[in-house]
Structure 1
């Protein structure tokens, strides 16, 4: 995986050394000699990752990281602090400033590239979500202010899991388990999973792999607990998709800082996914009735006709019109008319199969698509809808009589060689016949043609 990495260090020898290591792995490398230059290059060149020294003249690495994370254009760039400092307070300070990890000089190449590749995989996913968000919405990106969350702590045995969970204080709520099957079953209910992979009696890596491979928990962040000198397990955990690692002995402050980072990141990604789902739904749904819109219905009808032409299943369609709908709007007002449309749509959907497609075609006109149905079955479905609508009046404004609503429908089955216009023209002709013959009825285009 290649990417653009910005190396920030006030000592040129250190920069050159990291550049050589990264270039050998086919990374593109940018260099900055201080925090101010880092901020400028991050804005202008949008690196995929920043390796940031802590001890620098001017603004140090902590302040540089804070400024990077405060800027919308650079806040999503992963930052790894590379420093000679290895005190608990320095690690926590860096994590709270927004750093994704700490690497201690002299930097171990295996640890460096494992961490870099892990963060780049994460950034690739986040960049895709942010890109789709920008393409579909003009709304600002969401913030993720969450500080606490629900954490599942998994250990080799119950006492060990309980001790690890006890390290997490408020605002976290932690549940400790020692059975990997139970952990995999419960994982989807939590914001973060912490797995002790340091115990040889417990295959924590297998649990991590299982959680990552399950679609329901694939996005759950995982924090792995490793032994400080067990480089092999740390690298394997990151390669399996673990989001972060923490080494024993565990410091409660560092554990909380890393947990906050992962939960905040998950909340941000979940919000982007939810908004993307909403925007995708808005693109195919009618906002008033909740049915599909005209464009989506026509695209699905085209697909069904293509399938028929290739020797697939039959398909039928119905065009439906609410009888005298203008009279409802004129008599009761548009708000009541909208309420009738919503109620009408709900009754319509209650009479259809899961595979049937209902869409608002425009105004008070609707289209039903019946995949795999011949005209007789489509007629029966349209008749069920007609009866359900006519069976019970719709509510009217207070003090007014309930509104009796009926519909007229025309049904047509696709013939070999039909395109969308051909099929809908026959259904529309049948609909016209239904309205001309007194309304509140369903007419078969095939019967009319005969």
Structure 2
């Protein structure tokens, strides 16, 4: 996962150190030595994340952050303040200015890379949601952007999963008036409560006596109902390895107890506000395109939407030098399903097939019904090898579990053939060529015996 990172610091040595370390991880790094230069760079360049020094001459980091978050064109760019300041009021001030996180000088390398990876994933998801909103044209996106910070007049609903009543009592005192806190002391029951409830944020203990907290996080991220639920990891000690792994699994933030009440409430409000914004984008997208660009049988986007949106994704991939892969899959011998079980049985198979595709991909991936029994998955920021692995996982999931038909629960075996193609940016490949390449790979998979994957790299 690559990204363009803007590092802002008035100390050349600090710039060089961060530049070197991030470049080693294959990030593209741009630098600026003051706030004005940073804001100018953000106007001219596509930036995925900003590492921002606080103490700078002229415009300080707090004001730069406020300007970034006040501008609709840059407000979604994650900002990490890198500072030598250790006063709690400075951290709270930064969070109120819109900072997504803090790193303290000298920067811990593991925390730096873990934070960057986590926030880049968040930026990718936000970009995809906004692109889909723009594709539909009739969504009042600017109104949504103006109102994103107005949500939250009602106290947030927060779930705490922690074995200790003392931790619950402590957080209850901290959040009094800002949130309604719900407590579950068993981690397995906590996952179920999160899936069944309507929470704005979950706080997960890192210190269960006999249960892996990373397992709780992975389960929450694997369920449809909780995939986008903000998660804050709460730990008794600074465990860099655990925290880094948790961030990779999708944790949004972490705190080490004892926590400062003002800082924690500011962090919680950031997560709740961000969730309201993303929920609003999803809601607007869903409502606006339901009739025009949604397949009525499966609930997936249809070919009309794909034809429009794929052009945007290809253009963005070329412009930013990002990988883009596309998968076409076809249900094997689908005519025989219709002939044997009727069109009602065929419709059930199509609906279940679509459901399995949805469950196996990321939130940023686009799943469409291409026509008949053909489906397309577009995977932004996905290189050829990863796309082939995803396709094989999908093929196995379809073939491994029979499809149920009707109330009698009759089961039939279903397999699928899959063709995968990756965009050739060097050749300036078009969306039409990418689909043609994937379709050729699908034809080879079917000709080669079906129930298989054929991949065409760029």
TM-score normalized with structure 1 length: 0.64
CA contact 2:48–2:78 (8 Å) conserved in 1 = yes
Check if 1:59 corresponds to 2:63.
no
Distance in 1 of aligned mates of 2:169 and 2:52: 36
CA contact 1:54–1:83 (8 Å) conserved in 2 = yes
Describe the shift of the 1:307–1:280 C-alpha distance in structure 2 as closer, same or farther (beyond 3 A): farther
Distance in 1 of aligned mates of 2:252 and 2:227: 11
Partner of 1:154: 161
Q: CA deviation at 1:179?
A: 1.3
Check if 1:196 corresponds to 2:241.
no
Distance in 2 of aligned mates of 1:247 and 1:285: 45
Q: SS at the partner of 2:182? A: strand
String of CA shifts for 1:232-290, please: whole Å, max 9, x gaps: 2211211221111112221111111111111111111111111111123121589xxx9
Q: SS at the partner of 1:225? A: strand
Partner of 2:16: 16
Q: SS at the partner of 2:51? A: strand
String of CA shifts for 1:68-109, please: whole Å, max 9, x gaps: 000001000000000000111111111111101110000011
Which range moves more in the overlay, 204-213 or 108-117? Answer: 204-213
Written as runs of structure 1 = structure 2, the 5 A alignment for 1:409-448 is: none
Written as runs of structure 1 = structure 2, the 5 A alignment for 1:34-53 is: 34-53=34-53
Written as runs of structure 1 = structure 2, the 5 A alignment for 1:107-146 is: 107-138=107-138, 139-141=140-142, 142=144, 143-144=147-148, 145-146=150-151
Partner of 1:208: 217
Partner of 1:222: 231
CA RMSD of aligned residues (A): 3.1
Q: SS at the partner of 2:75? A: coil
Partner of 2:262: 253
Partner of 2:99: 99
String of CA shifts for 1:281-340, please: whole Å, max 9, x gaps: 121589xxx999xxx899xxxxxxx9999444259x9xxxxxxxxxxxxxxxxxxxxxxx
Q: CA deviation at 1:49?
A: 0.4
Q: CA deviation at 1:160?
A: 2.4
Distance in 1 of aligned mates of 2:221 and 2:297: 35
Distance in 2 of aligned mates of 1:33 and 1:151: 40
CA contact 2:243–2:254 (8 Å) conserved in 1 = yes
Which range moves more in the overlay, 253-262 or 154-163? Answer: 154-163
CA contact 1:161–1:178 (8 Å) conserved in 2 = no
Which range moves more in the overlay, 196-205 or 211-220? Answer: 196-205
Describe the shift of the 1:112–1:200 C-alpha distance in structure 2 as closer, same or farther (beyond 3 A): farther
Distance in 2 of aligned mates of 1:66 and 1:271: 22
CA contact 2:178–2:265 (8 Å) conserved in 1 = no
Q: SS at the partner of 1:46? A: coil
Q: SS at the partner of 2:204? A: strand
Match for 2:172 among 151, 165, 168?
165
Describe the shift of the 1:297–1:221 C-alpha distance in structure 2 as closer, same or farther (beyond 3 A): closer
String of CA shifts for 1:33-76, please: whole Å, max 9, x gaps: 11111111112112110000000011110010000000001000
Distance in 1 of aligned mates of 2:80 and 2:20: 18
Written as runs of structure 1 = structure 2, the 5 A alignment for 1:227-306 is: 227-283=236-292
Distance in 2 of aligned mates of 1:285 and 1:226: 43
Q: SS at the partner of 1:52? A: strand
Distance in 2 of aligned mates of 1:86 and 1:199: 29
Partner of 2:75: 75
Count of residue correspondences: 312
Distance in 2 of aligned mates of 1:107 and 1:93: 20
CA contact 1:8–1:34 (8 Å) conserved in 2 = yes
Distance in 2 of aligned mates of 1:229 and 1:18: 22
String of CA shifts for 1:385-406, please: whole Å, max 9, x gaps: xxxxxxxxxxxxxxxxxxxxxx
**CA radius of gyration, larger in:** 1
Unaligned runs of 5+ in 1: 299-305, 318-351, 357-370, 372-450
Distance in 2 of aligned mates of 1:176 and 1:241: 22
Describe the shift of the 1:201–1:166 C-alpha distance in structure 2 as closer, same or farther (beyond 3 A): farther
Check if 1:181 corresponds to 2:185.
no
String of CA shifts for 1:321-362, please: whole Å, max 9, x gaps: xxxxxxxxxxxxxxxxxxxxxxxxxxxxxxx99959xxxxxx
Distance in 2 of aligned mates of 1:241 and 1:284: 30
Describe the shift of the 1:181–1:68 C-alpha distance in structure 2 as closer, same or farther (beyond 3 A): same
CA contact 2:118–2:248 (8 Å) conserved in 1 = yes
CA contact 1:6–1:47 (8 Å) conserved in 2 = yes
Describe the shift of the 1:134–1:163 C-alpha distance in structure 2 as closer, same or farther (beyond 3 A): same
TM-score normalized with structure 2 length: 0.63
